[in-house]
Amino acid sequence: MNTATIAESIPPDGMAGLRAHWKSDLVSGFLIFLIALPLCLGVAMASGFPPMAGIISAVVGGLLVSRINGSYMTINGPAAGLIVVILAATQTLGQGDAMQGYRCTLAAIVVASALQIAMGLLKAGRLNAYFPASVVHGMLAAIGIIIMAKQFHIMVGVKPEAASDDLLATIAEIPHSLLDPNPEIALIGAVGLLILIAWSLMRSRYLKMVPAPLLVVLAGMALGKYFDLDHEHIYMFHPDNPILPHHEYTVGPKFLVTIPEDFTAGFYLPDFSKVWTADFWGAAISICLVGSLETLLSAVAVDKLDPYKRCSNLNRDLTAVGAGNLICGLIGGLPMIAEIVRSSANITNGAKTGWANFFHGAFLLLFVALFPHVIHEIPLASLAALLVYTGFRLASPREFAKTMDIGWEQLTLFVITILGVLATDLLIGVAIGILAKLAIHMLRGVDPKHLLKISYRIEEVPPDTFVIHVDGSAIFSNFIALKSEVADFPVGKTVIFDLSNADFIDHTVMEFIDHFRHDYVQRGGHCEIRGLESHVPYSSHPLAARKRKSPAKDSGKVKLGRQAG
């Protein structure tokens, strides 16, 4: 699809978009609802919130945020990436009282939402530019490890002896839970996990039209009925088998999801009694930072998948998500983000406008209002299997390999951030990763005065050409000013990045320039990158960090990796 064709066929917004594409958006909204229902329940329970809190978040995200946000194809709702910060806030603020922790965390969500709204209004939609890619990916990988560690025990029906806030002890108990599970519950979890793995490996386009999370839930409900989880009872697993240990196990409704029959009974008010404590503000800032980062990263990623190449208004999106989170915090819901997996599925399903997001929220509201008894039949082990699989995807060996492919320094930062988050918390772990990145830059010769300030000039050359001359070092911490300026360039022009005088260019900047060029060309412009032949990359990856050759080496021929672009 060329640029002219895209421009002519871009779906309209608002009511005009609804009239033109309601059928495709309705179908996609229904399919996303089938994916979102189990994920909303699982994320809420893993976060220490009531299951209904996840539904509230997705309903508000669909019905409200979809109408005021700045994106076109994103699906708003709770996501696994926020589990760790919400659970930590609930445990810290509750101090053993789960309900108080929940309501105090709602208050922290309200404050975090106000910060998000302010950031959007102050045009901080480029917040993600301040964070190196390897540090962000390390943070997400650490979140994945924490999710797997905590949800594995639930998946096999075992309550670990370690305190819920002792992560290392929880990880250490995984072998014990694996060797001594509750067999019937573990079977439900294992079947769910196998379905997810099998669906990820399947090539049949027609079978993949059936959402894997839906199959996990249906299989779990069938096994739950077979094992009679509705009634508490004691059983022995294959008592006649002489090899298996003859233990007695208990199963019952406590292994099933519990939600109120009345949707409004799931509403709770926030408790601001701890607003003057450091723990409260640490929770609020963590929720704001992680939620905003994930929303912005997802919106940018979804824009790249959009067949119509529409660009989200990130400031408006941040403000809209903040408004939705404010409502969620006031009535008992989880905070939401623009969720990448559901958004990608939305595009695959053929959605055209933001009304698909609206319909997914409407279907969720109707389902929990009319069929709450069906949700009660979902085993917790099935939801835990979904989250274990989600956590694995965030921290899979493939993520380590992709990071190492860019360069050893990126893998080092990735691992440092993971260890920092696991050893401390999200905010401190991310700060450790950023400080490590700055330290590596200084060891590579970056002048301290260039850590926060970039030297550049933009030359406008007739006709319709902008030449960006970069001097000194271009790194993640100083590139934001230039990034903001080039983002406002008119479309259809020629943009040239002249990097011949740049002493050092890090991976984050290389990645931005490459993405900018791709997007600018897609929108009908022309973009060139010049001067990379005078630099030596730190790895063969085309977007690896690189340093300008010293004069002594200029005479020799140095083999470079493929230039960005």
The residue range of the domain holding 460 is: 449-553
Which CATH number is 530's domain given?
3.30.750.24
Average pLDDT, the chain: 90
Q: Residue 135 falls within a domain, yes or no? A: yes
What integer pLDDT is reported at residue 244 of this predicted model?
64
Q: Are residues 212 and 177 in the same domain?
A: yes
Task: Please determine, for residue 454, whether its predicted confidence score (pLDDT) is greater than 50.
Answer: yes
Where would I find the H helices in 173-254? 174-179, 183-201, 212-226
Instruction: Give the residue among 191, 164, 137, 211 at the shortest CA–CA distance from 47.
Output: 164
- Compute the C-alpha angle 503/508/514, nearest 5°: 90
Tally the domains of the chain.
Answer: 3
Q: Are residues 224 and 261 in the same domain?
A: yes
Segment holding 410, helix H or strand E: helix 408-423
What integer pLDDT is reported at residue 564 of this predicted model?
34
For residue 208, name the pLDDT band (cuts at 50, 70, 90): confident
- For the stretch 251-304, pLDDT in tens is 999 999 999 988 889 999 999 999 999 999 999 999 999 999 999 989 988 988
Q: Residue 4 falls within a domain, yes or no? A: no
Q: Residue 241 falls within a domain, yes or no? A: yes
128 CB-contact burial (10 Å; exposed 0-12 / middle 13-18 / buried 19+)? middle
Q: Residue 559 falls within a domain, yes or no? A: no
- For the stretch 110-150, pLDDT in tens is 999 999 999 999 988 877 777 888 999 999 999 999 999 99
What percent of the chain is predicted at pLDDT more than 70? 94
Q: Are residues 442 and 457 in the same domain?
A: no
The mean pLDDT value for 176-199 works out to 95
What integer pLDDT is reported at residue 532 of this predicted model?
93
Q: Are residues 444 and 455 in the same domain?
A: no
Q: How many CA atoms lie within 13 A of 394 on its CB side?
A: 29
Q: Are residues 327 and 420 in the same domain?
A: no
Q: Are residues 269 and 259 in the same domain?
A: yes
What does pTM read for this prediction?
Answer: 0.88
The mean pLDDT value for 372-392 works out to 95
Q: Are residues 374 and 465 in the same domain?
A: no
For residue 245, name the pLDDT band (cuts at 50, 70, 90): low
Q: Are residues 290 and 251 in the same domain?
A: yes
User: How far from the centroid of its chain's Cα atoms is residue 104's Cα?
Assistant: 24
Amino acid at the residue 312: S
- For the stretch 397-427, pLDDT in tens is 999 999 999 999 999 999 999 999 999 888 8
Where would I find the H helices in 243-339? 278-305, 314-331
Q: Residue 558 falls within a domain, yes or no? A: no
Q: Are residues 177 and 100 in the same domain?
A: yes
Q: Are residues 375 and 468 in the same domain?
A: no
- For the stretch 324-344, pLDDT in tens is 999 999 999 999 999 988 999
Q: Are residues 352 and 420 in the same domain?
A: no
Q: Residue 436 falls within a domain, yes or no? A: yes
Q: Residue 5 falls within a domain, yes or no? A: no
